[in-house]
């Protein structure tokens, strides 16, 4: 897979605040790249620099191996969280309006089928459900046939069924060889869709790799969670533990040995819960708080 986007030392300052602090990463064609981080981490500022909307103070952006140009920015597909659409237009009219902005728009019939808009073509776009609106916004972001598409929290506020439908749609967009750059507050979404994730905090990269590699680097074995009983556990060196949200969380390679040790140390096992680590746990470990919306 070739590299479609290469970012080196990207920096943005607002007065004394370093919103993005010299970050570097690259994105492969046809992959889904997830940008995650708590509020104020610098995700939006980063995305806006990549989209050509904000001028970096330092660093370089390369699209397809060349310094980013105006033409590159114009060829991006961008799905905003909030897009002001023309009132009183139907879904079909809105699509046609957006298509008219571009010299070589996508085939609208194909786009309508891809984004599953056939049933709602004649509906006023203000009367759509959350999932339908997101599918329309995605179609609008694809109308200029972009090879790289930016999605800003595309499933926020959708019900689980609509989120899963939207994920299937993203998979189809990826299968067409397009590259997806996604910001999300949902860890399960990142785990499901992203080939690579970048976790930011206070303008810096705190983790960058595939979800599987990051979980393997930071966790071994399973996670045991039990209600915090105010006592510190004594565990072997290869186990680690932390306290959060009224729970004691232990990452241990040997579950049986850990349970025996806890019992020997007079911990009650009532409420004990064992699970494998996911990106939520990773986020909590790296930033000290959960990202779950
Ligand atoms: N135009 C601006 N002027 C001054 N400060 C700004 C501006 N834009 C962003 N910031 C600051 O830069 C930091 C990074 O903001 P940014 O919006 O990039 O974070 P984020 O990770 O996208 O957060 P969120 O998840 O809340 O959208 C924040 O401290 C924010 O207050």
Domain ranges in the chain are 3-210, 220-276
pLDDT at 290: 64
Residue matched to tokens 């605040």:
17
Low-confidence ranges of the chain (pLDDT < 50): 293
Q: For 3-210, CATH number? A: 3.40.50.300
Coil, helix or strand at residue 269: coil
The model's pTM? 0.86
| φ/ψ of residue 93, rounded to 5 | -65, -35
| ipTM given for this complex | 0.97
Q: In what order do the strands lie in the sheet with 247-252?
A: 240-244, 247-252, 222-227, 273-275
pLDDT at 162: 86
65 CB neighbour count, 10 Å cutoff:
10
45 lines ligand 1 (CB under 6 A): yes
DSSP run (H or E) holding 171:
helix 160-175
Tokens representing 160 are: 């689980």
Coil, helix or strand at residue 130: helix
Bridge partner residues of 148 (DSSP)? 179
37 lines ligand 1 (CB under 6 A): yes
Q: Report the alpha-carbon distance of residue 280 to residue 259 in Å, rounded.
A: 23
Q: Report the alpha-carbon distance of residue 33 to residue 184 in Å, rounded.
A: 11
Q: Are 190 and 184 in contact (CB under 8 A)?
A: yes
Q: How far is the CA of 53 from the centre of ligand 1 (A)?
A: 14
Question: Considering only CA atoms, which residue is closest to atom 8 of ligand 1?
Answer: 45
12 lines ligand 1 (CB under 6 A): no
**Sequential DSSP letters for 90-130:** BHHHHHHHHHTTSSS---HHHHHHHTT-GGGTTSBGGG--H
pLDDT at 119: 93
């Amino acid at each position: 897979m070739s590299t479609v986007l290469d970012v080196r030392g990207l920096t943005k300052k607002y007065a004394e605040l370093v919103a993005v602090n010299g970050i570097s990463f690259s994105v492969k064609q046809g992959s889904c790249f997830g940008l995650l981080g708590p509020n104020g981490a610098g995700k939006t500022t980063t995305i806006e620099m990549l989209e050509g909307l904000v001028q970096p103070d330092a660093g370089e952006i390369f699209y397809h191996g060349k310094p980013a140009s105006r033409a590159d920015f114009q060829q991006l597909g961008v799905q905003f969280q909030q897009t002001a659409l023309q009132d009183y237009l139907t879904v079909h009219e809105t699509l046609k309006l957006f298509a008219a902005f571009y010299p070589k728009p996508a085939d609208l019939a194909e786009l309508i089928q891809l984004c599953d808009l056939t049933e709602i073509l004649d509906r006023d776009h203000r009367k759509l459900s959350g999932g339908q609106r997101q599918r329309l916004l995605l179609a609008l972001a694809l109308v200029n046939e972009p090879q790289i598409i930016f999605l800003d929290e595309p499933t926020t506020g959708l019900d689980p069924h609509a989120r899963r439908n939207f994920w299937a749609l993203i998979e189809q967009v990826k299968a067409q060889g397009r590259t997806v750059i996604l910001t999300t507050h949902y860890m399960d979404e990142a785990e499901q869709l992203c080939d690579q994730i970048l976790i930011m905090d206070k303008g810096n990269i705190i983790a960058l790799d595939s979800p599987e590699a990051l979980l393997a680097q930071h966790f071994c074995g399973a996670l045991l969670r039990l209600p915090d009983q105010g006592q510190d556990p004594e565990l072997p060196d290869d186990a680690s533990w932390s306290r959060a949200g009224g729970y004691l969380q232990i990452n241990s390679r040997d579950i049986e040995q850990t349970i025996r040790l806890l019992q020997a140390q007079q911990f009650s096992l009532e409420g004990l819960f064992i699970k494998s680590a996911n990106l939520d746990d990773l986020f909590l470990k790296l930033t000290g708080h959960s990202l779950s919306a």
